[in-house]
Amino acid sequence: YLAKHKLSSDLKNFDLGSVQCSSEFDRKFIYEAISTWYGSVANFTDFVQDELREELVSPILSSSMPLAYYLILVTPSLSVYLEVFLALWKGGAPSDVMISHALASLLGYCLCWCPAYLALFIFLCDRFASPRSSKCRDRLQSFAIGMIVLIVSYAGNIAARYSFEQGLYHSMVWAVFALFAVALAGCKGRWC
C-alpha cells in the first residue's frame, strides 16, 4: 500500500530535469521527441503530473476489491460451517436449530462478517500506509492492524456462536447486524 501512495506522489512531483539518461545523445533525442509530441517539455511535465497520473493512479488508489474475491477468501470457514450444518441435518436436528445455525454461522459470520472484517483490514492497511520513523514502528503498526482485525474477527465468531446457542430470534438479530456491517463495508469498499 505504501508503494501505490509513493507512485502517486512521484507522478505528482514529476520533473523531467531530474530524470537521468545513460548518454547525452539519448537525453537530447528524448527531449526533442517530447518537444515534437507535446509541444514543449513543460507541456509533457504537466501531462505526466495531471492526466497521466490520474489515468494510472485512480484505479490503483481505490482500496476496493471485488466482492467475489472476498467470498473466495471466506470459502475455508464457509466449508467448516457447512460441514457442521450437514452434521446437524444428518443427525436429525430440529429445523429451528438448523435455521438458527444457517442464519448465525453461515449467513451472519461467513458470508457477511468475514467479508466486512476483510474490508476493514484492507482499509486500515491503505489508510495507514506511510513510512514511519523506524522499521520497528512500521512493524508495530502492522502488528496493531493485524490484532484489531483478529479481535473483530473473533468477536464476530463469538457473536455467531452465542446467537446460535440462544436460538432463532438471536440468530436473526445477529444475521441482520452482520448484513448491515457487510453493506456498510461494501459501500465504503465500492461494491455498491
Running DSSP on this structure, what letter comes out for residue 50? I
Predicted confidence at residue 126, as pLDDT, reads 78
Sign of the Cα pseudo-torsion (134, 140, 144, 145, in order):
positive
How far does the chain reach from its first CA to its final CA, in angstroms? 23
Predicted confidence at residue 137, as pLDDT, reads 83
Give CA–CA dist 71/186, Å, rounded.
Answer: 12
Predicted confidence at residue 156, as pLDDT, reads 95
Running DSSP on this structure, what letter comes out for residue 5? H
Name the residue among 68, 67, 110 with its Cα closest to residue 85.
110
Predicted confidence at residue 189, as pLDDT, reads 55
Q: What is the mean pLDDT of each run of 10 residues along the chain (192 residues)?
A: 65 79 85 88 85 74 70 90 94 94 95 90 80 78 92 95 95 96 75 47
The three cell numbers of residue 125 are 492497511
Predicted confidence at residue 144, as pLDDT, reads 92
Q: What's the Cα-to-Cα distance from 34 to each of 18, 23, 42, 138, 175, rounded to whole Å?
A: 15, 17, 10, 40, 59
Q: Are 70 and 115 in contact (CB under 8 A)?
A: yes
Give CA–CA dist 188/192, Å, rounded.
Answer: 8
Predicted confidence at residue 187, as pLDDT, reads 67
Mark 167-191 as b/e (b = at least 16 C-beta within 10 Å): ebebbbbbbeebbebbeebbeebeb
